[in-house]
Amino acid sequence: MKSFLYTLLLFTATLKAQTATKEKIISDLPEIEIAEGVNLHIISPEPIQYVDLSTEKLTGDLPTTNIARIKITDSQTSAEDKKKKTSIFFNGDQAGIITVVGQSFIAQYKAVYRHSENLNTITNIHIQPEAMQPIEFDKMVFSNLELRRFAMGIIQKKSENNPIREEKNLKLSFQLNNVYVISDYIFLDMTFKNNSNLSYDIEALKFSIEDKKIHKATNNQSIEMTPLFQLNPQKHFKKNFRNIYVFKKFTYPNSKVMMIRLIEEQLSGRTIEMKVNYSDILKADTF
């Protein structure tokens, strides 16, 4: 598995290093059809960072992080033309250029007008690999799609028999299976086990850096940390739940610990916490 992950990393790094964003001319852009009164949804494999519509004939928004919704601007057709069911566009007219920028790619399309009576008008498209041009970064920055691939590679491995850390309380078992590092990213492989017959509803899993020794409650300095990515957004489990949490590289002194708290949703819910020393992070495996 390590060799597979290393190969995947090497391929990704090579792809980013050797494939610069090439110049594009309008005639080379793939065409997508768009009709009045029909929303076109462009579905991205990773969160969309930016969308550009080259003309006022087009308008759009981002209903979710992975979907761009585009349509012909309503004002382009007069009220009188709408009554007559006529349009200022002719079939095949160019409506504009649509540019979608993800975390690691840019994709551009030439929007071509089609009459709404055309039953073959497309209402949604998925951005395909051949339409993506990689965007180069000064540092190796991974998109959510790439982080998911790495996390899937980890979770396909068997859970460690000897976890780095393990805590047990209230018939709950909470263990840190392993820590992995790739470039400036830290992956925490964690497993939660419920040994009771009551299912567990997760209210929150909180990460923070705190003082190892607290002399007074008011002196405790706690810095909350939020994962950049988690493999499974699951909020409920009956017996076992394993997940991967990804953080940008961090450090903390020996006088502090990483505190991980699993909190149940109910008012009198079960809470379990784990302290992770920085020495545990330094022992991280590489991909």
Residue 50 in domain: yes
Residue 53 in domain: yes
Q: From CA 238, how far away is CA 83, in angstroms rounded?
A: 58
pLDDT recorded at residue 2: 43
Same domain (yes/no): 123, 93: yes
Residue 113 in domain: yes
Amino acid at 260: I
Which domain covers residue 55, as residue numbers?
21-135
Same domain (yes/no): 154, 62: no
What's the CATH code of the domain at 121? 2.60.40
pLDDT recorded at residue 251: 83
pLDDT recorded at residue 184: 85
pLDDT in tens, 243-254: 999 999 888 888
pLDDT recorded at residue 4: 39
Same domain (yes/no): 270, 157: yes
Could you write out the three-class secondary structure of the chain?
A: CHHHHHHHHHHHHHHHHHCCCCCCCHHHCCEEEECCCCCEEEECCCCCCEEEECCCCEEEEEEECCEEEEEECHHHCCHHHHHHCCCCCCCCCEEEEEEEECCCEEEEEEEEECCCCCCCCCCEEECCHHHCEECCCCCCCCCHHHHHHHHHHHHCCCCCCCCCEEEEECCEEEEEEEEEEECCEEEEEEEEEECCCCCEEEEEEEEEEEECCCCCHHHCCCEEECCCEECCCCCEECCEEEEEEEEECCCCCCCEEEEEEEEECCCCCCEEEEEECHHHHHCCEEC
Same domain (yes/no): 30, 99: yes
Q: With a cut of 50, which residues of the chain have pLDDT below it?
A: 1-19, 84-85
pLDDT recorded at residue 185: 92
pLDDT recorded at residue 15: 43
pLDDT in tens, 41-56: 999 988 898 899 999 9
